[in-house]
Structure 1
Amino acid sequence: MKHHLLPVSPKTIHWGYFSKVVTPALTLRSGDRATIETLTHHANDDYERMIKDDPGAESVFKWTREHKAVARRGAGPTEGPFIRGSGEGVGVHLLTGPVAIEGAEPGDVLEVRILDIKPRPSQCGCHAGKCFGSNAAANWGFHYHDLIEEPKPREVITIFELDTSGEPFAKAVYNYVWTPQTDPDGIVHATIDYPGVPVDHGTIKKRENILPGIKVPARLHFGTMGLAPSEADYVSSIPPSYTGGNIDDWRIGKGARMYYPVAVPGAYFSVGDPHAAQGDSELGGTAIETSLTGDFEFILHKKSDLGGTPLEGLTHPLLETDQAWSVYGFTYPNYLAELGANAQTEIANHSSLDRAMRDAFRKLRRFLMTVHHLSEDEAISLLSVGADFGVTQVVDANWGVHGTIRKNVFRCD
Structure 2
Amino acid sequence: LLVWSCTSSPSEPAATPTPEPEPLVPKAQYTLTADQVHSKFSRSIPPVLTVPSGSIIEAYTQEATAGQITPSSTVADLATLSFDPIHPLTGPVYVEGAEPGDVLAVTLHEVELDTWGWSAILPGFGYLADTFTEPYLKIYDIDKTAKTAQFADGHIIDLTPFPGVMAVAPDTDSLLNTIPPRANGGNMDDPNMTVGTTVYFPVWVKGALFSIGDGHATQGHGEVCGTAIEAPLRFVYEVNVIKGGRQLEEPEYETKDYYATTAYATTLDEAARRATMNMVNYLMTEKGMGRNEAYVLCSIAGDLKIAEVVDVPHVLVSMHMDKKTMPK
Indicate whether the TM-score tops 0.5. Answer: yes
Q: TM-score, normalised by structure 1?
A: 0.68
1:4-23 mapped onto 2 (5 Å cutoff): 4-9=30-35, 12-15=36-39, 17-23=40-46
**2:299 counterpart SS class:** helix
TM-fit CA distance, 1:45: 2.4
In the alignment, the residues of structure 2 paired with residue 163 and residue 48 of structure 1 have an alpha-carbon distance, to the nearest angstrom, of 18
Q: How many equivalent pairs are there?
A: 293
- Correspondent of 2:99 among 100, 105, 108: 105
1:294 pairs with 2:317: no
- Correspondent of 1:160 among 136, 140, 146: 140
- 1:269-317 CA distance string (max 9 Å, x none): 0110001000000000010000111111111112xx31xxxxx122210
In the alignment, the residues of structure 1 paired with residue 273 and residue 149 of structure 2 have an alpha-carbon distance, to the nearest angstrom, of 35
Q: TM-score, normalised by structure 2?
A: 0.84
1:29 pairs with 2:8: no
Q: Is the 8 A contact 1:18 1:270 kept in 2?
A: no
Aligned residue for 2:116?
A: 132
Aligned residue for 1:126?
A: none
1:142-161 mapped onto 2 (5 Å cutoff): 142-147=127-132, 153-161=133-141
Q: Is the 8 A contact 1:91 1:237 kept in 2?
A: no
- 1:94-148 CA distance string (max 9 Å, x none): 101110011211001111111111123xxxxxxxxxx11011122310022124x
| 4+ residue segments displaced more than 4 Å | none
How much identity, in percent, do the aligned residues show? 31
Q: Is the 8 A contact 2:71 2:117 kept in 1?
A: no
In the alignment, the residues of structure 2 paired with residue 214 and residue 143 of structure 1 have an alpha-carbon distance, to the nearest angstrom, of 24
**2:155 counterpart SS class:** coil
**1:162 counterpart SS class:** strand
- Correspondent of 1:45 among 30, 51, 69: 69
- 1:235-267 CA distance string (max 9 Å, x none): 111111111111001111111111101101111
**1:143 counterpart SS class:** coil
In the alignment, the residues of structure 2 paired with residue 298 and residue 165 of structure 1 have an alpha-carbon distance, to the nearest angstrom, of 28
In the alignment, the residues of structure 2 paired with residue 402 and residue 241 of structure 1 have an alpha-carbon distance, to the nearest angstrom, of 13
Which consecutive unaligned segments of at least 5 residues does structure 1 have? 50-83, 121-130, 148-152, 173-210, 307-311, 332-350
Aligned residue for 1:171?
A: 150
Aligned residue for 2:201?
A: 260
1:187-206 mapped onto 2 (5 Å cutoff): none
Aligned residue for 1:390?
A: 305
Pick the structure with greater CA Rg: 2
**2:53 counterpart SS class:** coil
Q: Is the 8 A contact 1:225 1:244 kept in 2?
A: yes
1:219 pairs with 2:160: yes
- 1:344-367 CA distance string (max 9 Å, x none): xxxxxxx31111111111111111
What residue identity is the alignment partner of 1:3? Q
1:244 pairs with 2:176: no
In the alignment, the residues of structure 2 paired with residue 314 and residue 268 of structure 1 have an alpha-carbon distance, to the nearest angstrom, of 17
Q: Is the 8 A contact 2:52 2:95 kept in 1?
A: yes
Which consecutive unaligned segments of at least 5 residues does structure 2 have? 1-26, 74-79
In the alignment, the residues of structure 1 paired with residue 318 and residue 225 of structure 2 have an alpha-carbon distance, to the nearest angstrom, of 19
TM-fit CA distance, 1:324: 0.7
Q: Is the 8 A contact 2:64 2:215 kept in 1?
A: no
**2:273 counterpart SS class:** helix
- Correspondent of 2:257 among 308, 323, 331: 323
